[in-house]
Structure 1
Amino acid sequence: MLRFIFKRVLWMIPALFAVSFLAFVLIQLPPGDFVTNYVATLAASNEIIDQNAADALRERFGLGEPMLLQYGKWIWGILVHGDFGTSFEWQQPVGDLVWERMALTLTLTLSTLVATWAIALPIGIFSAVRKYTIGDYIVTSISFFGLAIPSFLLALVLMYIAVVIFGQDVSGLFSDEYQNAPWTWAKVADLIHHLWIPVIILAVSGTASLIRVMRANLLDELNKPYVTTARAKGLSEFRLLMKYPVRIALNPFISTIAWLLPNLVSGSIVVAVVLNLPTAAPLLLQSLLAQDMYLAGAFVLLICTLTLIGSLVSDILLAIADPRIRLE
């Protein structure tokens, strides 16, 4: 296992270099650059910038240099100084912009994960054990509904319910008085008060999917000979269920870690925009639209790094939980 982990970590290094280069190239493929978008935005507000001023901006941001030279300077700054560059649009260090959004993104994602697992695991077990009963049919219908409903539509419905019925502010994750306030227990309580809407929206689709996967996997395990043998030896039904088939059927839950970590950054961009959430996803979208290449490149590089780490962690945990898939 240690040899496997070591080889995987070594392979991450060239993979990250390749991905970072491809991301840097793809961000610059659309026609124009950041200055082009900036000039077009000002023109829409009846502010005109002449060509000399635009060329001066390109020279200031280094956009006139060859792409390979721009990439070389960017990756060298990351490796040597830990500097991801400066955002063109925000005129701030990219590292500061990224990490200030990650705390709230981490809170939202982990809350969604806990809610998803806490709901999907017991309901999936119930649906498998009580297959073809009224309860199973109800769970199946709700799961299909959860998979089918668009997240942005659910967000709009929950926002309407929260405002009309509960009289709650649904813009962002904090009330106005706590928006820029230092962290206190009152601010934490306000965050929790606003957190339930995005958690429900983001958890619905994942919960519905995992319920179906858990039910299918558990049904496969319940019909295997080892379950019949354990039952014949007098093992109680609950202990039998939890000790063997449920443990094996948990593999899909563990494998979700592979996409959980990159989801910290990308998340559900549409939901985050609809709810005006101060997470990383809207900032990533804005950087791509503005062709803010250093900010967008940092996000893409972070997503790829978290994908590789998540896959490694998932493989290790799967090997620990299920001896059948160990390399030995």
Structure 2
Amino acid sequence: MILFLLRRFATMAVTLLIISALVFFIIKLPPGDFLSNQIAELRAQGEASSAAKAEFLIKQYGLDRPPWEQYLVWLGVWPGPAGFSGLLQGNWGWSFEFDRPVGEVVGDALWLTILVNLAVVIFIHVVAIPIAIYSATRQYSIGDYIATFIGYIGLAIPSFLLALILLFYSNRWFDISIGGLYDPKYAGQPWNWDKIRSLLSHLIVPTIVIGLSGTAAMIRRMRANLLDELGKQYYVTAKAKGLPHYQALLKYPFRMSLNPFIADIGNLLPHLVSGSVLVSLVLSLPTVGPILLSALKSQDQFLAGFILMFVAMLTVLGMLVSDLLLAWLDPRIRMGGGR
């Protein structure tokens, strides 16, 4: 077990290193950067003093160096300008668009993003699993047809469109706003019990909106997996030996049908972050999605690079969790690969 974890941590470190290089150089592919574009605009407007300040920032953060050297400085393995350290030293960089450190810009958005995605993952599994079991064990029943219809509706409706519909009709019919993750009066206020209660109440709508399509997809896939397992000989034999129906169902076919979903945990987390950007914009959610979109549009390289690395970290951690859960859930899966 310890050797398995050590190998996985080494693989994760190499993976993150490769991802960091791809992230940095892809961000640098478009010509120019935030400060260079700002200098060109300031010079066109005749503001020489402001342009001189921007040029000073370029030298201060090493943006006049070759791209490979900028990457190593950003990573923290190459000496940078005085007072500047990289990611490995805990310095996430400076956001030129917001004129603040990256850590201050993302701030609460990081853990709010994790909270929203965790709520969505729990919602998907809590809702989809019972419906899928009911639908598979009662194939072609009225309940199965209703679940199938709801699944198709959930897959067909774009999340941002559902967010717009709920936002409009909740304001029109009930005169309430469902935007944001807490009431506007709590913006910028320290966290207390009232703010936490406001957060929990506002978390319901984005959880349903973001998780609806994933829930519908999971219902369809798990139903198909269960139907395939229910027809196999080991399940028929278990029932023939007198094992109660639901005990046989949960002990064997249900566990086997969970394997693909456990394996997808690593892909699910970044998918939720990237797929919820439009929903976050519509519902004014203070998550990292809108910040990332703004940073990419303005070529704010340190801010965009850190958020993309944050999503990559979620991916590799999700992969590790899925591997551990698979090894625990299915005894046929061996960590070391030996026999």
Q: Compute the TM-score of the two structures, normalised by the length of structure 1.
A: 0.91
Instruction: Give matches, 1:63-212, under 5 Å.
Output: 63-76=63-76, 77-78=85-86, 80-212=88-220
Size of the aligned set, in residue pairs, is 325
Partner of 1:12: 12
Specify the SS of the correspondent of 1:132: coil
* Greater displacement, 150-159 / 76-85: 76-85
Identity of aligned residues (%): 46
Preserved CA contact (<8 Å) 1:102 1:265: no
Listed one character per residue, the Cα deviations across residues 75-113 of structure 1 (whole Å, up to 9, x for unaligned) are: 113355211211111222223333421121122111111
For residues 53 and 73 of structure 1, the distance between their equivalents in structure 2, rounded to whole angstroms, comes to 26
**Distance in structure 2 (CA, Å) of the matches to 1:211 and 1:174:** 31
* Deviation (angstroms), 1:192: 2.1
Classify the secondary structure of the residue corresponding to 1:64.
Answer: coil
1:249 is matched with: 257
Unaligned runs of 5+ in 1: none
- Cα distance change on mapping 1:160 and 1:243 into 2, 3 Å: same
For the residues of structure 2 that align with 1:278 and 1:249, how far apart are their CA atoms?
A: 36
C-alpha separation between the residues in 2 aligned to 1:137 and 1:307?
35
Q: Are positions 1:312 and 2:320 aligned together?
A: yes
Q: Deviations over 1:172-203 (max 9, x none)?
A: 11212112222222212211222222111101
Q: How many angstroms apart in 2 are the aligned matches of 1:259 and 1:267?
A: 12
User: Matched residues in 2 for 1:137 and 1:58: separation?
Assistant: 65
Q: Compared with structure 1, are the counterparts of its residues 256 and 49 closer, same or farther at alpha carbon in structure 2 (3 Å cutoff)? A: farther
Give 3-state SS (helix, strand or coil) of 2:14's partner: helix
Q: Is the 8 A contact 2:255 2:329 kept in 1?
A: yes
Residues 215-268 of structure 1: per-residue CA shift (max 9 Å, x gap): 011111101111111111111111111111111111233223212443575451
Q: Report deviation, 1:31.
A: 2.3
Residue 261 to residue 146, structure 1, CA distance change in 2 (3 Å): closer
Give the C-alpha shift of residue 29 in structure 1: 0.9
Q: 1:49 to 1:26 in 2, by over 3 A?
A: farther
TM-score, normalised with respect to structure 2: 0.89
Change (3 A) 1:112 1:40: farther
Q: Deviations over 1:47-82 (max 9, x none)?
A: 925577436413413332221221121111335521
Paired residue for 1:231?
239
CA distance in 2: counterparts of 1:271 and 1:134, whole angstroms: 33
Instruction: Go from structure 1 to structure 2 and tell me whether the alpha carbon gap of 1:159 and 1:39 turns closer, same or farther (over 3 Å shift).
Output: farther
Distance in 2, matches of 1:187 and 1:100, equals 13
- Whether the 8 Å CA contact 1:112–1:203 is kept in 2: the answer is yes
Q: How does 1:260-271 map to 2 (within 5 A)?
A: 260-263=268-271, 265-271=273-279
State the SS of the aligned residue for 1:325: coil
- RCO greater where, 1 or 2, for CA within 8 Å and sep 6 or more? 1
Residue 57 (structure 1) aligned with residue 65 (structure 2)? no
1:15-54 equivalences in 2 (<5 Å): 15-38=15-38, 48-50=45-47, 53-54=50-51
Out of 147-156 and 13-22, give the one that drifted further: 13-22
| Cα offset, 1:37, TM superposition | 4.3
CA RMSD of aligned residues (A): 2.2
Q: CA 1:252/1:49 → structure 2, altered by over 3 Å: closer, same or farther?
A: farther
Give the letter for the 2:25 counterpart. V
CA contact (8 A) 1:130 1:136 kept: yes
- Structure-1 separation of matches of 2:45 and 2:143: 65
Q: How does 1:260-299 map to 2 (within 5 A)?
A: 260-263=268-271, 265-299=273-307
